[in-house]
Amino acid sequence: MLIGKPGCHLCDDARVVIDQVISQFRQENPAAEISYVEQNILEDEELLRIHHDEIPVLKINGLVHNFWKIDPERFRAALEKLVS
């Protein structure tokens, strides 16, 4: 899950990194079912309370993986761990 909000340039950057890493990962691991959803922090009071100063936030299986800047190598390693 990518938690962000409209007009957030860091969220836009995170989306690009996530899409690139997932695209490459799918090519190399066609059997892996990897997807993500986006959540607007402004539409969820609980997320806003918890993550108001950390967006974008990337959660994997409900746990915070990164916030502010998504490290592509670290994200890729997490995906590899999920499918192994």
Amino acid at site 16? V
Burial class (CB in 10 A: 0-12, 13-18, 19+), 56: buried
pLDDT of residue 38: 97
> How many Cβ atoms sit within 10 Å of the Cβ of residue 75?
21
Mean pLDDT taken over the chain: 96
pLDDT of residue 84: 84
What structural domains does the chain harbor?
Answer: 2-83 (3.40.30.10)
Record the pTM.
0.91
User: What is the average per-residue pLDDT within 25-42?
Assistant: 94
